[in-house]
Amino acid sequence: MRVALGVCGGIAAYKAAELARALQERGCTVQVIMTEAAREFVQPLTFAALTGQKVITGLWAGSHGNGEEALSSAVEHISVAQDNDILVIAPATADVIGRMAHGLADDFLTTTYLAFTGPVVIAPAMNTNMLQHPATQANIDTLRQRGHVIVDSADGLLACGTVGPGRLPEPAVIADAVVRAGTKRRKDLEGEVVLVTAGPTAEPLDPVRFITNRSSGKMGFSLAEAAFARGARVILVAGPVNIPDPVGVEMTHITTAAEMRQAVLDHLPDATIVIKSAAVADYHVANVSPHKIKKTAARLMLELEPNPDILAELGQMKGSRLLIGFAAETDEMIFEARRKLSAKNADMIVGNWVNRQGSGFNADQNEVVLVTRTGETIEIPLGSKRDIADIILDHALRLRLALHASAS
């Protein structure tokens, strides 16, 4: 696999040399593109010596790290975009992330990005406050919506003395993400129709109040994005969330569990894979007040009725479809996931830790356990929800092959 490695200006630029080596150890050929600011931290000769490839530092003739002239025209970024299988930007600064998000191209790296049609992996690294600024987060979200892989920054002590997120992830972590992204270039879900549910439901008490849970929908949206990137037609049924609709995905927005059930049943005939990642409320209020309930000194008693068990209902009517459910748990994960697998007649349950720091509800990362109908128990360590989504899809495809083999 041929990798174009974009290096931006920042103290973490020196780690890009370790990343280049890690990529080579994984069988990749690496060509480095440096921004002007990156040259203030690392000399191009370092990357030329490590990779054995020309290092590009500018758009114009004579701006190459080993002294070679540019190609005969100022369009070398087109050939670099065509010759490489994957584009990696690490470290990615706030400036370059912003320019990429808004389609601004005034140097070799950003012009190459606009001309590149393959997978893109981005590893942000910057001061914590810069990373958490709404503008930076919006730009990162924009790039994620385009299907790019974002390798989340690590927490720790930064060069500026701040402690928090913003550190460049370890080179091995980025290199592994690059390899996964490269293998996903194949469209192994072409011809599939993947039906995904995501987010919470909200069950009204009155016109003002409702019962809900802490689900953000990020895991379900990541699954929808990953399935679409791999060639599937994707239908996403989403509860009330604060996430932009994924590009290319067919959306159905609902509020209550009853609405979610109806939307799922409406789309079920088309689906070949169903992934129930939504955190559906277990109960709804029996008698919803048509007016706002006024506060008094008296205690208020609510009568709750069970909501329909959508996953169990699907388990009885799934046919040849692959059915994947989620189990949000705080303890006895494997036991509960196995119990749910049997009770719901599912093919796979994704056990989702929701009480661990930095994982589960509202987090950008997840730590899960997969239990399957074939008896496997697969523990997936903490990682970004987008990466976890691809891992779940990988195992889902392998599981279906195993189930078909055992049935034949």
Residue-wise pLDDT tens digits, 17-47: 999 999 988 878 899 999 999 999 999 999 9
Which residues, in sequence order, are CB contacts of 164 under 8 Å at separation 6+? 128, 155, 158
Q: What is the DSSP string of 329-385?
A: ESS-HHHHHHHHHHHHT-SEEEEEE-SSTT-STT-SEEEEEEEETTS-EEEEEEEEH
- Mean pLDDT of the chain, nearest integer: 88
Which residues, in sequence order, are CB contacts of 204 under 8 Å at separation 6+? 210, 256, 285, 288
The answer to whether residue 83 scores a pLDDT higher than 60 is yes
- What residues does each domain of the chain span? 2-183, 193-407
CA distance linking residue 271 with residue 219, whole number of Å: 19
Q: Tell me, what's the pLDDT at 153?
A: 86
Element (H, E) at 405: helix 385-407
Q: Which residues are catalytic?
A: 160
Kindly report the CATH number that applies to the domain delimited by 2-183: 3.40.50.1950
The answer to whether residue 204 scores a pLDDT higher than 50 is yes
Q: Is the pTM of this model over 0.85?
A: no
Q: What does the pLDDT average to over 48-59? A: 88
Q: What does the pLDDT average to over 337-358? A: 89
Question: How many C-alpha atoms does 177 have within 13 Å on its Cβ side?
Answer: 28
N-to-C CA span, the chain: 36
CA distance linking residue 20 with residue 178, whole number of Å: 11
Q: Tell me, what's the pLDDT at 61?
A: 53
* Overall fold of domain 193-407: Rossmann fold (3.40.50)
Q: What is the DSSP string of 93-140?
A: PHHHHHHHHTT---SHHHHHHHH--S-EEEEE---HHHHHSHHHHHHH
Q: What does the pLDDT average to over 330-337? A: 86
Give the confidence band of 84 by pLDDT, cuts at 50, 70, 90.
confident
Q: Tell me, what's the pLDDT at 25?
A: 86
Of 50-54, 60-64, 139-143, 394-398, the least confident:
60-64
Q: What does the pLDDT average to over 212-234? A: 91
**89-108 burial code (b ≥16 CB/10 A, e <16):** bbbbbbbbbbbbbeeebebb
Give the confidence band of 364 by pLDDT, cuts at 50, 70, 90.
confident
Q: Tell me, what's the pLDDT at 66?
A: 46
Q: 356: which 2 tokens? A: 């661990």
Q: Tens digits of per-residue pLDDT, 127-177? A: 888 898 999 999 999 999 898 999 988 877 666 666 667 788 899 999 988
The answer to whether residue 338 scores a pLDDT higher than 90 is yes
CA distance linking residue 28 with residue 20, whole number of Å: 9
What angle is formed at CA 158 by the lines to CA 216 and CA 353, rounded to 5 degrees?
30
Cα separation values, 213 from 203, 254, 278, 279, 350, Å = 10, 15, 11, 7, 18
The answer to whether residue 296 scores a pLDDT higher than 50 is yes
Q: What does the pLDDT average to over 295-308? A: 90
Q: Tell me, what's the pLDDT at 70?
A: 38
Give the confidence band of 186 by pLDDT, cuts at 50, 70, 90.
low
